[in-house]
Amino acid sequence: MPHRLTLEDFKGKELKNGTPLEILIHVLEVAAEKFKEEETANGNSTCTKPTLISNESSRADEKIQVQPPLEKSLLVLKHSNSKTKLVDSMKNEEWVNCLTNKKTKREEEEDDDSSTAAASLSSLPEEFQREIAVRCGGSEPDRLFRLIRKTLTKTDISKGHGRLTIPCNQIQSFEFLEDDEITLLRQKETIRVPLIHKPKKNNGVSDPSLTETILKFGQWNLHANKDDPRKVSSQYVLNGGWNNIVSEDRLKQNRTVEVWAFRDIQNRLCMALVQLGR
- Per-residue pLDDT averaged across 237-254, rounded? 95
Q: pLDDT class for 44, splitting at 50, 70, 90?
A: low
pLDDT digits (tens, 9 = 90+) for 193-215: 999 999 987 765 666 689 999 99
**CA-to-CA distance for 260 and 198, rounded, in angstroms?**
14
Look at residue 188 and tell me whether its pLDDT is greater than 50. yes
Q: Please tell me the predicted confidence (pLDDT) of residue 191.
A: 96
pLDDT digits (tens, 9 = 90+) for 19-32: 766 777 777 787 77
- Per-residue pLDDT averaged across 48-59, rounded? 44
The residue ranges of every structural domain in the chain are 15-69, 87-275
What CATH topology corresponds to 87-275?
At1g16640 B3 domain (2.40.330)
Q: Could you say which DSSP state residue 234 is in?
A: E
Least-confidence region, from 34-48, 162-176, 211-225, 249-263: 34-48
**CA-to-CA distance for 26 and 15, rounded, in angstroms?**
7
- How many residues are present in the chain? 278
Answer yes or no: are the C-beta atoms of 275 and 255 closer than 8 Å: yes
Q: Quick one: three-class SS letters along 28-43?
A: HHHHHHHHHHHHHHCC
Q: pLDDT class for 70, splitting at 50, 70, 90?
A: very low
Least-confidence region, from 21-30, 78-87, 269-278: 78-87
Q: Please tell me the predicted confidence (pLDDT) of residue 271.
A: 96
pLDDT digits (tens, 9 = 90+) for 117-144: 566 778 899 999 999 999 998 888 888 9
